[in-house]
């Protein structure tokens, strides 16, 4: 079997789907690897490193002729050139852009979306959403610390005492928990809120104070561990109660997402205007509309001296480690699909069936089909 990784062409994308370490691991299972020349340079992996690991470095045509193609995000132009016999694996954004699934089905491609990976114990090492969210949460704190005119830790000096920064993290999923841990390491005082009461223990174990609001949150978590969408009445009460805490914070990091739906609005414009000038909001939900009312994707909005950042691809800013983690997710999943050196798709298997996006000219995932048909 032969698997290939092309050079990513999306603006600002520095990650690569397979790394030299991944090449060595796949070789143990008699899986050949082809890398498009230059694919890993932006992430810190030159062609020579791939060749030393045993990969063939070639042009795009050789990539397109592989049995399987692994991408970070890929592109419509690349997908249009793939042979229907090829298996595509990558972050295909099926819930945010289901039209991609329709195009892949029309091409009769078998594709697997890493975002659809079941949240079960057996699939933890394949969970690309979590691996990349970890780095997004980490990077969000560093971006805030670098851009704020205040130090994070308390400092006692001969010139006086500097009080620690106050950080508020909204959403205590993987990205939020990593943001808490990173801010704590930098010496900040942290509060965190999540609509799911079950995460309180995790928040407190990292040294943050869990914010409890006067809201009915029973049933706020779905079977996969994600937050459920809430009513507008619920969200309005939530925004009102969070407003004071937002205003008192030096840094607000928002991470709340509902898969396949617009991000819930948590921070109103009035709350941002009430923050001290020089404060920063980093909105990790910017790609799906943002948790903050003034967020604009990939822009910096200045509101009365408070800056609201809407980055949509923070993992790419730490591309070397992001690529290593993502490549490990990919190869673990590929090894799951391979038997004796050849692809053997068991569509009855929970992991294989769960991640399957398109197969046999059809969109295989029920939720994505619903989105294409106009459902929720």
pLDDT in tens, 279-295: 999 999 999 999 999 99
**pLDDT exceeds 70 at position 48:** yes
> What DSSP string describes 35-53?
EETTTTGGGT--HHHHHHH
Of 165-174, 210-219, 329-338, least confident by mean pLDDT is 210-219
CATH of the domain at 37: 3.40.50.720
Alpha-carbon distance 45 to 133, whole Å? 22
Residue 229: pLDDT band by 50, 70, 90 thresholds? low
Number of domains in the chain: 2
Catalytic residues: 119, 124, 127, 130, 226
Of 46-60, 224-238, 310-324, least confident by mean pLDDT is 224-238
Residue 237: pLDDT band by 50, 70, 90 thresholds? confident
CA 174 to each of CA 162, 170, 183, 255: distance values in angstroms, whole numbers, following the listed order:
30, 12, 14, 9
**pLDDT exceeds 70 at position 46:** yes
Structural domain containing residue 232: 134-312
In a shared domain, residues 176 and 301: yes
Which of residues 312, 344, 361 is at a domain's end? 312
- In this predicted structure, what is the pLDDT of residue 197? 86
Please classify residue 53 by burial: count the beta carbons closer than 10 Å to its beta carbon, then call 0-12 exposed, 13-18 middle and 19+ buried: buried
In a shared domain, residues 243 and 198: yes
**pLDDT exceeds 90 at position 328:** yes
- Tracing tokens 């997004």 back to the chain, one arrives at 136
- In this predicted structure, what is the pLDDT of residue 294? 97
- In this predicted structure, what is the pLDDT of residue 142? 98
Taking the CA of residue 188 as centre, how many other CA atoms within 13 Å lie in the half-sphere pointing to its CB?
Answer: 31
- Other Cβ atoms less than 10 A from the Cβ of 304: the count is 10
In a shared domain, residues 214 and 168: yes
- Tracing tokens 């990650």 back to the chain, one arrives at 15
Residue 366: partners with Cβ closer than 8 Å, 6 or more residues away: none
- In this predicted structure, what is the pLDDT of residue 208? 97
Of 27-41, 214-228, 358-372, least confident by mean pLDDT is 214-228
In a shared domain, residues 117 and 246: no
In a shared domain, residues 242 and 170: yes
Mean pLDDT of all residues in 294-321: 97
Mean pLDDT of all residues in 238-263: 92
In a shared domain, residues 210 and 282: yes
- In this predicted structure, what is the pLDDT of residue 225? 53
**pLDDT exceeds 90 at position 228:** no
In a shared domain, residues 219 and 245: yes
In a shared domain, residues 347 and 227: no
Q: Are 86 and 34 contacting, i.e. CB atoms less than 8 angstroms apart? A: no
**pLDDT exceeds 60 at position 223:** no
**pLDDT exceeds 60 at position 221:** no
Return the DSSP state at 10: S
Residue 335: pLDDT band by 50, 70, 90 thresholds? very high
In a shared domain, residues 149 and 171: yes
- In this predicted structure, what is the pLDDT of residue 358? 98
In a shared domain, residues 158 and 122: no
Task: Return the percentage of the chain with pLDDT > 90, whole number.
Answer: 88
What mean pLDDT, rounded, does the chain reach? 94
Enter the pTM of the model.
Answer: 0.92
**pLDDT exceeds 80 at position 148:** yes
Which of residues 312, 332, 350 is at a domain's end? 312
Task: Return the percentage of the chain with pLDDT > 70, whole number.
Answer: 95
Alpha-carbon distance 151 to 104, whole Å? 49
**pLDDT exceeds 90 at position 270:** yes
In a shared domain, residues 266 and 351: no
CB burial readout 77-103, b (16+ within 10 A) else e: ebbeebeeebbbbbbbbbbeebebbbe
Of 10-24, 186-200, 232-246, 350-364, least confident by mean pLDDT is 232-246
- In this predicted structure, what is the pLDDT of residue 260? 81
CA 224 to each of CA 77, 112, 184, 260, 350: distance values in angstroms, whole numbers, following the listed order:
33, 19, 28, 14, 14
Mean pLDDT of all residues in 230-253: 89
Which of residues 266, 289, 312 is at a domain's end? 312
Mean pLDDT of all residues in 298-317: 97
In a shared domain, residues 69 and 139: no
**pLDDT exceeds 70 at position 326:** yes
Q: Which helix (H) or strand (E) holds 74?
A: none
- In this predicted structure, what is the pLDDT of residue 214? 81
């Amino acid at each position: 079997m032969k698997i290939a990784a092309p050079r990513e062409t999306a603006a600002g994308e520095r990650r690569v789907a397979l790394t030299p370490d991944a090449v060595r691991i796949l070789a143990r299972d008699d899986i050949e690897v082809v890398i498009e020349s230059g694919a890993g340079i932006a992430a810190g992996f030159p062609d020579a490193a791939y060749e030393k690991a045993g990969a063939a470095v070639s042009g795009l045509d050789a990539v397109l002729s592989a049995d399987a193609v692994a991408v970070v995000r890929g592109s419509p132009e690349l997908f249009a050139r793939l042979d229907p016999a090829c298996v595509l694996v990558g972050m295909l954004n099926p819930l945010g852009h289901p039209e991609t699934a329709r195009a892949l089905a029309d091409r009769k491609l078998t594709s697997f979306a890493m975002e659809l990976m079941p949240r079960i114990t057996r699939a933890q090492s394949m969970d690309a959403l979590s691996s990349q969210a970890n780095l997004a949460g980490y990077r969000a704190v560093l971006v805030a610390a670098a851009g704020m005119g205040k130090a994070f830790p308390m400092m006692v000096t001969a010139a006086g005492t500097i009080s620690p920064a106050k950080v508020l993290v909204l959403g205590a999923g993987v990205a939020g928990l990593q943001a808490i841990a990173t801010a704590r390491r930098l010496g900040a005082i942290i509060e965190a809120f999540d609509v799911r009461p079950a995460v309180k223990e995790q928040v407190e174990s990292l040294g943050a104070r869990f914010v409890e609001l006067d809201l009915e949150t029973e049933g706020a978590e779905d079977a996969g561990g994600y937050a459920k969408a809430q009513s507008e009445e619920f969200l309005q009460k939530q925004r009102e109660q969070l407003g004071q805490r937002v205003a008192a914070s030096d840094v607000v990091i928002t991470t709340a997402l509902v898969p396949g739906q617009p991000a819930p609005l948590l921070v109103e414009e009035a709350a941002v205007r009430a923050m001290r000038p020089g404060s920063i909001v980093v909105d990790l939900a910017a790609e799906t509309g943002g948790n903050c009312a003034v967020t604009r994707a990939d822009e910096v909005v200045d509101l009365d001296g408070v800056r609201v950042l809407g980055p949509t691809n923070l993992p790419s800013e730490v591309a070397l480690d992001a690529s290593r983690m993502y490549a490990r997710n990919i190869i673990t999943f590929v090894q799951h699909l391979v038997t004796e050196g050849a692809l053997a798709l068991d569509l009855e298997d929970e992991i294989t069936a769960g991640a399957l996006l398109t197969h046999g000219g059809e969109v295989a995932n029920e939720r994505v089909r619903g989105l294409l048909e106009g459902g929720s």
